[in-house]
Amino acid sequence: MKVHHRVMWVLFLALVVAARIYWPEPEEPEILAYRGVSDEAFSTLRRHALRFAEARARDGFEFTDGPNAASFFQVRCRGVPVLYVERQQFLLLIRLPLGAGRRAPAIFYLQATLEWPLHPLNHLEQFLAGVQEPTVQDRLLLMVAGGVPEEERCE
């Protein structure tokens, strides 16, 4: 009976280690919703993100516009998106993939800079606008997934 329990524990630990090594990061983003912004305010946010990425290009950051530069842009870390900003009619959405902090810790400085002049929606307004937060399952998968390899990180 003792051997059976030990084998089960060893298999369980092997499964946890394998999951940490091979399980991909969840793609479900952390979405923050704000009241809509003017064209000028969105251009200012875009400039901040562009300067951030240009100043850290040696570290692997890059700035890209979406199909409509007046309503969407993103910042990438070694080709992987770590911040999306999308302007909708009455909302501004800032999305951070759940693993963004592990892949590119500096992205939180940019996020704070972008959020500073904005007016966030409260939880009820966010829910009514259809902006949903990641599930508990997504957050648990991120904890099990472990870190990002050094060569894929942006400092």
pLDDT in tens, the chain (155 residues): 566 667 666 666 555 555 544 444 444 456 788 888 999 999 999 999 999 999 999 999 999 987 777 789 999 999 999 999 999 888 999 988 877 888 888 998 898 889 888 888 877 777 777 776 655 555 555 555 556 556 666 77
Q: Are 116 and 110 in contact (CB under 8 A)?
A: no
Closest alpha carbon to 78 in 66, 64, 91: 64
Q: For the chain, how many structural domains are there in total?
A: 1
Look at the pTM and tell me if it is higher than 0.85: no
Domain span at 100 = 2-152
Cα–Cα nearest to 153, from 69, 42, 73, 77: 77
